[in-house]
Structure 1
């Protein structure tokens, strides 16, 4: 399994709007093959900072989600980009396990 932490900063006062668009992205990924977790969080101290925590079965699943056309009622990537004041920061992770995840590498 792989993971990603994405940190995004919205234009001033647009954090709630950014979080809302990302929650719509999360809804569109419900049931997407290989998507284990797609969690949207807003920074309590700075509501214009929004975090996305992703867990994917493998890199191919994550890439397939990026390549998939947006749902007719879902947001377009341009909708997210228009709300950002700077480029997102991405941290790649090796997922070891935890509550809510299937068994990883033979570990509970």
Structure 2
């Protein structure tokens, strides 16, 4: 399994909008093959900072999700990017296990 921690900073005062759009993305991923965890969080000290915690069965599953066409009524990558004041920061993770993962979280 692989993980990603995405940190995004919205334009001043637009963190709630960014979180709402990312929650729509998360809803679209519900049941997507290989998506184990996709959690949206807003920084308690800085609400314009939004983080996405992802766990995928493998990199191919994560790439398939990125390549999937947006739903007609759902947000597009451009919708997310328009809300950002800076480029998102991605941290790649090796998932070792934990609560909420299938089986023991190991590949």
Return the TM-score normalized by structure 2: 0.97
Structure 2, unaligned stretches of length 5 or more?
A: none
Deviates more, 1:97-106 or 1:12-21: 97-106
Corresponding residue of 1:86: 86
Superposition RMSD on alpha carbons, in Å? 0.9
| SS at 2:24 equivalent | helix
Structure 1 segments of 4 or more deviating over 6 A? none
Give the CA deviation at 1:104: 2.8
Q: How many residues align?
A: 106
Output the CA distance in 2 between the equivalents of 1:104 and 1:6: 20
Return the TM-score normalized by structure 1: 0.96
Deviations 1:6-27 (A, max 9, x none): 0000000000000000000000
Matched, 1:105 2:79: no
Output the CA distance in 1 between the equivalents of 2:106 and 2:91: 21
| SS at 1:46 equivalent | coil
Output the CA distance in 2 between the equivalents of 1:4 and 1:83: 20
Output the CA distance in 2 between the equivalents of 1:105 and 1:27: 25
Deviations 1:74-107 (A, max 9, x none): 100000000000000000000001001012338x
